[in-house]
Structure 1
């Protein structure tokens, strides 16, 4: 597919359309192989189903989300403006997953060529992102606005969960400490009570043995 010299919403729609068509064709191909070809072991069937499932989930979730951002950019809707540069940033982010799915289908080809026995080495996913030709003499696009905010919100949410977890742990530890202190105080009071009782008993015995009481007994 020929690349556009400028970033437009139509260009990104075409990217999604092309990738969606290719992924659906691969899913259809491997569904047919799984249903019609004999000699496929259960483990290989599991790999095929897993790859098809991940691909269909990606189409229904990520591509749908991306097209929604394209619509926001084109119609200038939403609480924050979505720029064309934002679309490029989001595409770069999901392109790693697209590459991973293509590599999974390539690995299924190797599995088939190897009589449905797993190859020793699986293909390594490339880490290069999709390249888009920017406008001539244009400065490097900055990914921000709605997409950047979504990423920061996820990070902040994780931090808040960590703080809440630590606070809850601190409260539990304080409760344990308070129970321990109360228990120690109770033990001390009980010990003092026993000591006073013993002391009282001892004094009572001393009184019983005074010379006067002995003389009276006689």
Structure 2
């Protein structure tokens, strides 16, 4: 879910379809978006390649509806070699120029170059990407009942944003990172009454495989900071 989606959604937390199924209001009535809401959004994700893909697509999405990205996701995967970090890291200037002519993706030079740069940054990490990201997963909080109760950023997303930037990642501002945390189950922001609420309760077993000491150290880094731009 993007900030554009949140702004456009009804203020009430859920929409009920003709079959009586209640979903988060941002999922709307589009079948593809509903399927994404039901099957992907908020499901804990620990696969490093999938997290890299999501991080890059969230960067491309900034300022757009997530549905815009979702409808182009297959082409993005083709264009970026299935988001295999080693293959993306090997892409060069000729690939950038080729992708700038590809109408099936978002043709933003800075974001295309950032996708390649983020692959290089991922390969340069001294710990798996999933351990880095999940180390900033927050403790559970109250479930939101209205769309306007959803935060755009949190101390944890600001902390993870700062750490990713330190490691060389780009287009990972706190708002983008919080959307990533929502979509990959690091937080469960399904609304009160949504049929998927609580569907990612197992996330709390996944927060940091290195143990509680590592988790506390990460949480100590996630302090509130001044707003950071999304680049």
TM-score range for the pair, normalised by the shorter chain length: under 0.3
Indicate the structure whose relative CO is greater, using CA pairs within 8 Å and at least 6 residues apart: 2
Computing the radius of gyration from Cα coordinates, the structure with the larger value is 1
**Which of the two has greater helix per residue?**
1
Under a length normalisation based on structure 1, what TM-score does the superposition of the two structures give? 0.27
State the TM-score, normalized to the length of structure 2.
0.26
